[in-house]
Amino acid sequence: MPDNTLISEDFIIDPTGRQLAGRWIKSQNPNSKNPVIVMLHEGLGAIPMWKGFPQKLALATGYDILIYDRQGYGGSPALSEARDTFYSHRYALEELPDVLEFCGIKKPILFGHSDGASIALIHAAHHPVTAIISEAAHVFVEEISLAGIREATEIWHTTDLPKRLERYHGDKTTQIFFAWSDTWQHPDFRDWNILDELANITCPSLIIQGVEDEYGSPEQVYSIKEKVTGPCETLLIPDCQHIPHFQAEDTVLKASVNFLNSIS
């Protein structure tokens, strides 16, 4: 049985001077499971935006969890250069390996949401990982994704969204919002995809998406299932949009536990 007492510890991850904000969620049970679950946030996410879900995941699975803010987000430093089409690859293949090395994590379980899920898939195509749990990943660009981002941009201009995001990103809020929205809407980004890389993923994966996801169709899930070469489970959740771990929390927790038990 997983221990019901957790320790939460905020710290600075400092690979190559990046000074990224990190948080450990650990069991006090010395027999807690290995490896570590590393959680990768969405395209406008940050550590606090996961709310209580990481703690519930730790209790449900018995695994220690690392969460961190990628550069540009939350408590981490602002972006130091303009984004390009391959920004997800830079996070997956440059920043994430340094984070794992600094934290002493080998072969993590990657739990990614949206941009974070795409980053998890890219990383797993190039580095050894134990497993992937993916929520709302993008592996190619769809019109529904672009429409969702255009709508989000309109909401930015017409509501208090900037003020709400500022609670998490501070004076980086405008920079990170438009780094996200402008990159996705740039004409060069329409041809972005990671389909050819997915064949290199040989670890077990659980691919989750809401049927009503406003940023992607079920074709994202079907494409991942078709392309990866490791064992792959899929879960399309009815009446669920882009954030399954909030909108269908119990379903995601149960599926995650069953999946991790099946590979342990």
Domain of 233, CATH number, reads 3.40.50.1820
Tell whether 236 is covered by a domain: yes
Tell whether 10 is covered by a domain: yes
pLDDT at 264: 82
Tell whether 65 is covered by a domain: yes
Instruction: Tell me the pTM.
Output: 0.96
- DSSP notation for 105-140: --SPEEEEETHHHHHHHHHHTTS--SEEEEES--SB
Give the Å distances, CA to CA, from 136 to 50, 60, 234, 245.
15, 21, 11, 10
- Element spanning 27, H or E: strand 20-27
Residues in the chain: 264
Angle in degrees, CA 244, 204, 43, rounded to 5: 40
How far is CA 170 from its chain centroid?
A: 21
Tell whether 1 is covered by a domain: no
pLDDT at 34: 83
Tell whether 113 is covered by a domain: yes
Tell whether 195 is covered by a domain: yes
Tell whether 149 is covered by a domain: yes
Tell whether 138 is covered by a domain: yes
Q: Which domain holds residue 151?
A: 6-263
Paired strand residues for 7: 26
Phi, psi of 41 (to 5 degrees): -80, 170
| Number of domains comprising the chain | 1
Mean pLDDT for each 10-residue chunk of the chain (264 residues)? 76 90 87 87 98 96 96 97 95 97 96 98 98 98 96 98 98 98 96 97 98 97 98 98 98 98 91
Half-sphere exposure of 179 (CA within 13 A, CB side): 21
